[in-house]
């Protein structure tokens, strides 16, 4: 089961951008927390961790209790502590912001407690008494893992199918390495699996083998947590040149293997979302001297987090705004530049503005397409444009079929996937035990 | 500039800040450095038959990241030869004639008192302080608080000291008594010229949870010690004020107990002290703290229009009354300033769990400012105490139309009380 990753992975050059607290720092920060009632930080957390409570427990030296409080709401609390955009979630809503005082460093405190829990090998949860019910989960990312763990606490038998050879989903293959490296994600999954009774089949793409129909026959409920699938491309001339990659593909390669980047010095990242920002910062980190983000909108309009983009700028990344790629330019089969045109305020190309951004590597970060083949043609499952339609408990229109994570929310954070997986597990449990109405009432 | 000169029972010092009899006043070299830093006086660490101390000696009470809000010790009186101490007292007085040097004493027999008082005065002491307060070690040998807890013994030994002394005698009182009044009156009856209080409070500072031994630890054992530091101030203020307002008590008071800054000092002075003594804050942060104490007191007096220290002494005493004299019809309610409120809801939880359930989260979830049900608010102050934002919650007087009426008046049938609030 355990995946052994190579030591010389390209991501290994990155340092943590938010260094871990030591005990003194954590206690001092914990003591600053006001211990609000109905705290806004809890409301801002998609998994609704009882943040003031876990922080108070750090302040008294009850780190074990603190970690338990975190994991009770968010079983992936260790990775979320590292990868959550806390500035726009819990920390952003800390009441200290209202006082113009520095908000509590909730992410770093959560990392402190959960890291110690891992280091000490604390286990907080046991599988429930067997119910005889079986649930299949498709995809081994945060949504499925969160659902699987909760289902095991209820005593249901759980099987996960993952098409990759590595487990953890984007937590393993897609998180910016200055936040968390792949081996840490795998460690977390293994810790989660220690509840026992979660069967995982890697290298199994559902829809190919087994089929959804087979799963529905063998299991009492099915959860889809398959994420978004491969990078979208622009469909431009030169797309098949060496050195033109989807950003998510590139990040995955960087995180899982060594990269030969000899002689490469210029990278262009196309897009303006968080994947694009991750990609530019990662390109800088692995050694590209000149990194440009080409975005068709304005700097202020980009959907990526401003605090992340600001960090990228400080690392030397340039932004090319209102810039639309129209062709990849190559030489000897390898990309050497991106031909672009400037756009006006209505996103119309401006005549005479064609130019070439030199590039040894082009990363396309304009979103991922949906992995929907497995779900297509399932009666009752509906799509809402980009995503699978689910109710607030993760149920699709087909009885016994649930979904969560990027597939259902259209691409949010890890913490959203964890919350949706957990809540879907609660709903699946009610469905399996025939108590659904009581919970909805 | 206001005049900070202090005259406590005839002992004069350029300001009211004295080092208390304790480790910071253990030697001449220390006290000279303290005087250089600005201290007005020093009470020499208690002289007596030199003792031997244990290791370790001190313990701290730490709270939410703040170290030593309380402090305790199991150290005894001086462990240095008397000759050395007297020689140093002489040196200090020679070089610092304007600073007050008070010598703290603790011996057993009348002859010993006579001898040690004479030698102290010969060395140049401006005053004496009789240590009737030490609550550990010495009391087991019949001295310290063993004396201070027995008014007749206190009075007798005080009278010996006064008889043998040509300088003012302060009697240092122990707080380890049920009522401080008889002990202050005993010092007065014995002819003492003033009292100083409080000495330390009998205490156990804590237990080491790993080895289940009390702190501070001496090998595998420990013992009760004397508690002091910022946390004891309220106890000290009460005892000082009780004596200061007592009709039959008329001695000057040197106030001691948790004085950590000029604000604490003003409180002690306003409750009747003519000098204040400091130990723990100096032990934690050094003699240098006196610079802010002097400046802060000076600035305060200037701003408030007190020309000299005496004008401030006892200024708050008239406000200290009996519960039975409080106006039961006076009413305040909490008001929350919605502009500065940060929505932490600490007032809500405190009111619900610890007070009268009258502050509620807003029904409109988009508004984070809580709502005070003024018809239920008893004006207890708890919300204001827990609120982290300065001046966000104020306790505002309500004009309820009721005339002043105290409990005593009510009992006497001359006052009519308003209906109770918050009592269901």
pLDDT tens, position by position, B79-134 = 999 999 999 999 999 999 999 999 999 999 999 999 999 999 999 999 999 999 88
Residues B12-36 have a mean pLDDT of 98
How many structural domains comprise chain A? 3
- Please judge whether A59 and B342 are an interchain contact, meaning their C-beta atoms are less than 8 angstroms apart: no
Range of the domain at A390: 134-163+203-227+371-433
Q: Do residues A280 and A324 share a domain? A: yes
Q: Do residues A393 and A330 share a domain? A: no
Q: What are all long-range contacts of A67-73, with beta carbons under 8 Å and residues at least 24 apart?
A: A67/A113, A67/A114, A67/A116, A67/A117, A67/A122, A67/A124, A68/A122, A68/A124, A70/A110, A70/A113, A70/A114, A71/A114, A71/A117, A71/A124, A71/A125, A72/A124, A73/A45, A73/A47, A73/A48, A73/A49, A73/A422
pLDDT over threshold 70, residue A2? no
pLDDT tens, position by position, A64-79 = 999 999 999 999 999 9
Residues B258-279 have a mean pLDDT of 98
pLDDT tens, position by position, B159-177 = 999 999 999 999 999 999 9
A36 inside 8 A of chain B by CB: yes
**Residue A1 pLDDT:** 46
Q: Do residues A27 and A104 share a domain? A: yes
Q: Which residues of A touch B64 (CB under 8 A)?
A: 31, 59
Q: Do residues A257 and A381 share a domain? A: no
Q: Do residues A277 and A380 share a domain? A: no
pLDDT over threshold 90, residue B327? yes
All domains of chain B, ordered by start, with CATH?
6-319 (3.20.20.70), 323-412 (3.30.70.20)
**High-pLDDT (> 90) share of chain B, %:** 94
**CATH number for the domain that contains residue A154:** 3.50.50.60
**CATH number for the domain that contains residue A26:** 1.10.1060.10
Single residue among A367, A387, A419 that ends a domain in this structure: A367
Residues B353-367 have a mean pLDDT of 95
Q: Do residues A221 and A111 share a domain? A: no
pLDDT tens, position by position, A84-120 = 999 999 999 999 999 999 999 999 999 999 999 999 9
**A441 within some domain:** no
Residues B337-366 have a mean pLDDT of 96
Q: Do residues A357 and A377 share a domain? A: no
Best of A32, A37, A58 to mutate (most B CBs within 10 Å, chain B): A37
Q: Which residues of B touch A95 (CB under 8 A)?
A: 342-344
pLDDT tens, position by position, A338-371 = 999 999 999 999 999 999 999 999 999 998 887 7
CA distance A291 to A283: 7
Q: Do residues A15 and A100 share a domain? A: yes
**A312 within some domain:** yes
**For residue B54, which phi and psi values (nearest 5 degrees)?**
-100, 170
Q: Do residues A310 and A341 share a domain? A: yes
**A183 within some domain:** no
Q: Do residues A241 and A345 share a domain? A: yes
Catalytic residue among B8, B134, B279, B387: B134
Q: Do residues A29 and A53 share a domain? A: yes
Angle at A382 between CA A377 and CA A383, to 5 degrees: 105
**A408 within some domain:** yes
Single residue among A367, A382, A409 that ends a domain in this structure: A367
Known catalytic membership, residue B134: yes
**A220-234, B27-41, B285-299: least confidently modelled range:** A220-234
**Residue A441 pLDDT:** 42
- Tell me the pTM: 0.90
Report the greatest alpha carbon distance in chain A. Answer: 71
Mean pLDDT of the residues in chain A: 94
**A172 within some domain:** no
Across the interface, which of A27, A31, A40 has its CB nearest the CB of B343?
A: A40
Would you say A406 and A414 are in contact if contact means Cβ atoms under 8 Å apart?
no
Best of B62, B63, B65 to mutate (most A CBs within 10 Å, chain A): B65
**A169 within some domain:** no
Q: Do residues A350 and A255 share a domain? A: yes
**A281 within some domain:** yes
Residue B68's alpha-carbon distances to A388, B64, B260, in angstroms, are 59, 11, 12
Single residue among A63, A88, A120 that ends a domain in this structure: A120
**A145 within some domain:** yes
């Amino acid at each position: 089961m355990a995946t052994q990753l190579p030591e010389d992975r390209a991501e290994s050059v990155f340092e943590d951008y938010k260094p871990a607290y030591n005990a003194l720092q954590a206690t001092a920060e914990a003591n600053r927390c006001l211990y609000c009632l109905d705290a806004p930080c809890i409301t801002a957390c998609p998994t609704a961790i009882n943040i003031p409570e876990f922080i108070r427990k750090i302040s008294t030296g009850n780190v074990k209790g603190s970690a338990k409080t975190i994991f009770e709401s968010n079983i992936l609390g260790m990775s979320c502590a590292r990868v959550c955009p806390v500035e726009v979630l819990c920390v952003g809503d800390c009441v200290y912001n209202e006082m113009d005082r520095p908000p509590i460093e909730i992410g770093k405190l959560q990392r402190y407690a959960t890291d110690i829990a891992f280091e000490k090998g604390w286990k907080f949860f046991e599988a429930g008494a067997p119910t005889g019910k079986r649930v299949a989960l498709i995809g081994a990312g945060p949504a499925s893992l969160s659902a699987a763990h909760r289902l095991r606490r209820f005593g249901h038998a759980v099987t996960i199918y993952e098409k990759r050879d590595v487990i953890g989903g984007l937590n393993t293959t897609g998180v910016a390495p200055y936040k968390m490296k792949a081996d840490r994600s795998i460690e977390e999954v293994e810790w989660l699996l220690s509840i026992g009774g979660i069967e995982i089949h890697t290298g199994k793409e559902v829809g190919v083998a087994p089929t959804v129909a087979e799963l529905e026959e063998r299991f009492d409920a099915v959860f889809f947590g398959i994420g978004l699938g491969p990078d979208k491309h622009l469909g431009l001339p030169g797309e098949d040149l060496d050195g033109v990659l989807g950003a998510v593909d590139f990040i995955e390669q960087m995180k899982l293997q060594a990269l030969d980047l000899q002689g490469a010095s210029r990278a262009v990242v196309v897009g303006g979302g968080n994947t694009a920002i991750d990609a530019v910062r990662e390109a800088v980190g692995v050694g590209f001297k000149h990194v440009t983000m080409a975005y068709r909108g304005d700097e202020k309009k980009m959907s990526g987090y401003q605090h992340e983009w600001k960090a990228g700028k400080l690392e030397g990344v340039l932004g090319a705004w209102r810039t639309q790629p129209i062709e990849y330019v190559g030489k000897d089969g390898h990309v050497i530049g991106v031909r672009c045109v400037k756009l006006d305020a209505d996103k119309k190309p401006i005549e005479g503005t064609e130019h070439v951004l030199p590039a040894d590597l082009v990363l396309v970060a304009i979103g991922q397409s949906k992995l929907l083949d497995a779900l297509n043609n399932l009666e009752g499952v509906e799509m809402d444009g980009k995503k699978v339609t689910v109710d607030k408990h993760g149920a699709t229109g087909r009885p016994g079929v649930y979904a969560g994570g990027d597939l259902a929310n259209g691409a949010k954070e890890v913490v959203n996937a964890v919350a949706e997986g957990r809540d879907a597990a609660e709903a699946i449990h009610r469905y399996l035990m025939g108590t659904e109405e009581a919970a909805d009432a | 500039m206001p005049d900070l000169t202090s005259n406590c029972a005839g002992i004069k010092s350029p300001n009211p800040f004295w080092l208390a009899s304790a480790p910071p006043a253990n030697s001449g070299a220390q006290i000279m450095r303290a005087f250089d830093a600005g201290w007005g006086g020093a009470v020499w660490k208690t002289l007596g038959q030199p003792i031997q101390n244990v290791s370790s000696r001190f313990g701290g009470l730490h709270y939410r990241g703040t170290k030593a809000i309380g402090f305790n010790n199991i150290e005894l009186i001086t462990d240095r030869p008397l000759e050395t101490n007297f020689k140093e007292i002489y040196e200090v007085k020679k070089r610092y004639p304007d600073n007050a040097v008070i010598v703290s004493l603790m011996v057993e027999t009348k002859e010993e008192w006579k001898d040690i008082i004479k030698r102290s005065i010969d060395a140049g002491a401006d005053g004496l302080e009789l240590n009737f307060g030490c609550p550990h070690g010495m009391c087991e040998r019949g001295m310290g608080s063993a004396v201070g807890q027995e008014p007749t013994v206190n009075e007798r030994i005080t009278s010996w000291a006064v008889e043998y002394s040509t300088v003012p005698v302060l009697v240092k009182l122990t707080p380890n008594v049920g009522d401080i009044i008889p002990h202050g009156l005993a010092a007065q009856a014995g002819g003492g010229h003033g009292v100083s209080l409080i000495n330390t409070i009998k205490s156990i500072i804590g237990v080491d949870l790993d080895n289940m031994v009390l702190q501070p630890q001496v090998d595998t054992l420990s013992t009760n010690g004397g508690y002091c530091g910022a946390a004891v101030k309220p106890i000290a203020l009460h005892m000082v004020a009780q004596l200061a307002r007592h009709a039959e008590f008329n001695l000057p008071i040197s106030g001691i107990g948790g004085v950590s800054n000029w604000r604490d000092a003003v409180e002690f002075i306003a409750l009747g002290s003519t000098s204040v003594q400091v130990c723990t804050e100096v032990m934690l942060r050094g003699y240098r703290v006196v610079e802010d104490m002097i400046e802060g007191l000076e600035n305060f007096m200037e701003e408030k229009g007190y020309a000299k220290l005496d004008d401030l002494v006892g200024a708050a005493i008239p406000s200290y009354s009996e519960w039975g004299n409080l106006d039961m019809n006076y009413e305040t309610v909490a008001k929350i300033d919605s502009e500065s409120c940060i929505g932490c809801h600490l007032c809500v939880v405190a009111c619900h769990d610890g007070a009268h359930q009258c502050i509620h989260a807003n029904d409109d979830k988009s508004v984070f400012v809580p709502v005070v049900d003024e018809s239920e608010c008893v004006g207890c102050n708890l919300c204001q105490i827990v609120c982290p934002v300065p001046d966000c919650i104020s306790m505002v007087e309500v004009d309820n139309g009721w005339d002043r009426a105290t409990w005593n008046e009510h009992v006497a049938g001359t006052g009519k009380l308003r209906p109770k609030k918050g009592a269901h």
